[in-house]
Amino acid sequence: MQAHLLTIGDEILIGQTTDSNAAWLGEQLALMGADVTGAQTVRDTPAAIRRGLERGFEEADVVLTTGGLGPTHDDLTKTVVADFFGVELEQNADIMERIERYYFQTDRDVPEAVRSLAAVPAGFDLLENPVGTAPGLFYEETSAGSTGSDDSQGGRMVVVLPGVPQEMKRVMEASGLPRLRERGTGLGRVAHRTLQTTGIVESSLQEKVKDVASDLADGQSLAYLPSTSGVRLRLTARADADGDADRQDEAQRKLDALEERLRARIGKYVYGTGGDELEAVVGGLLAERGRTVALAESATGGLAAHRLTQTSGASAYFQGGIVAYANRAKTELLSVEPATLEAHGAVSEATARAMAEGARERFGASYGLSTTGVAGPTGGTDATPVGTVCVGCAAPGSGARAVRLRFTQDRQLNKELFSTALLETLRRDILGIEDVSFVRQADA
């Protein structure tokens, strides 16, 4: 199955809304083994939507549209799709009854514009929308020449989805993805897996796995996807077997073999797979070992604490944190000696160690972690330029250590990178990884 994504909406083109729908749909389709051939965003005009459909079907047998299903004048998707496939819109009694029941329960009259939601292209199947009034739509051609397109080959499918992300996801999970799995050919032939790495930049990662990347088996491929948390390695395997079960097993075996080779090169940088998040992985390691952590944050302003507490159950291992921005807070709340600040400065490994020790002692935690740095864009010096951070770690039985890192010129990005460095420092200490080569600097 080859799929094409068509996002409809002026608000996306002018930057008022971010198209998260395409990213989610692409991921879900890839996971089920579909080949996503492309994605495009078009304006809320009949001509633009039709051109988008034509282009999509030039390279794929299924097009998924999002947006343009509401009751306002610029919601034109259903009308254009119906015209493209050469069918008329007709009122659906079940949808109209649902709309009337909803407005009756809220003691309101049904606005005339909302009645348009009940108009559905003839022959299209409804995809239930559990959280909204506009249903999704599904249509599959049964024979060539049955559409408004001159070059119809037959068998094309269209999935018409709401633009609101929550509604789109619920419709696809409940009805859209199962329909595509039932009708898809070649599904399972392609399998994907993601290795989550951090503490190493893309260029260095490529260098470490270049022998693996240059000697991939038939049907294997490797892609690098950098982000602020690290680099994701996307592993892809294509199977050749005919039977569905054999095909899926073969693809998974190829993925297993590729993952084993990669972990042999970069295992210490891999913190998870799939959608694993570093903060959740670190929290899991702490919980498994019955250990706790406390934070002393300066440069990150509480961001590391926020990330650690994003995981439900974090109270089992997160004791608390102090945002000690000013030197006075460092001395009074974390017991950093004024002489340390005077001799080494606030942004120093000595201060980071003292802050980490202070947090550990104050909260009675197993680990104390700290950040102190210059997020920018002002405040840097020749000795301590913008993007410098010192991360401290006070660990049980081994005292405190600190590492000095250098990042970017962007304040928000630096705070995210600083907090990632703190979490990765803790992960490596828990696992006994002594190497501190995770010092991350911008690629040249």
* pLDDT tens, residue by residue, 317-333: 999 999 999 999 999 99
Domain 278-431 CATH (choose: 3.90.950.20, 3.40.50.11900, 3.30.365.10, 3.40.50.620): 3.90.950.20
More confident residue, 284 or 30: 284
Round to whole Å and give the CA distance between 374 and 379: 6
Looking at mean pLDDT, say which of 138-147, 234-243, 374-383 comes out highest: 374-383
| pLDDT of 432 above 80 | yes
Domain ranges of the chain: 2-183, 190-273, 278-431
180-210 pLDDT, tens per residue?
Answer: 988 876 666 778 899 999 999 899 999 999 9
Mean per-residue pLDDT of the chain = 90
DSSP H helices, 310-443, are 327-334, 338-344, 349-363, 411-431
110 exposure class (CB count in 10 Å sphere: 0-12, 13-18, 19+): middle
Q: What is the pLDDT of residue 438?
A: 52
**Single-letter amino acid, residue 196:** Q
Q: State mean pLDDT over 70-99.
A: 89
More confident residue, 155 or 352: 352
Helix axes 278-289, 411-431, angle to 10 degrees: 30
| pLDDT of 273 above 80 | yes
CATH fold of the domain at 190-273? Alpha-Beta Plaits (3.30.70)
pLDDT classification of 66: cutoffs 50, 70, 90: very high
Lowest mean pLDDT among 129-133, 162-166, 196-200: 129-133
pTM of the model: 0.76
Q: What is the pLDDT of residue 151?
A: 42
Q: Cβ(245)–Cβ(261) under 8 Å?
A: no
Closest CA to 355 of 312, 392, 318: 392
Q: What percent of the chain has pLDDT over 70?
A: 92
- Secondary structure, 3-state, 37-91: EEEEEECCCHHHHHHHHHHHHHHCCEEEEECCCCCCCCCCHHHHHHHHCCCCEEE
233-262 pLDDT, tens per residue?
Answer: 999 988 764 555 566 688 889 999 999 999
CATH fold of the domain at 2-183? Molybdenum Cofactor Biosythetic Enzyme; Chain A (3.40.980)
Q: What is the pLDDT of residue 244?
A: 53
Q: Which residue has the tokens 């680099």?
A: 231
User: What is the gyration radius of the CA atoms in the chain, in angstroms?
Assistant: 27
| pLDDT of 377 above 60 | yes
159 exposure class (CB count in 10 Å sphere: 0-12, 13-18, 19+): buried
Q: What is the pLDDT of residue 148?
A: 40
Q: State mean pLDDT over 56-64.
A: 96
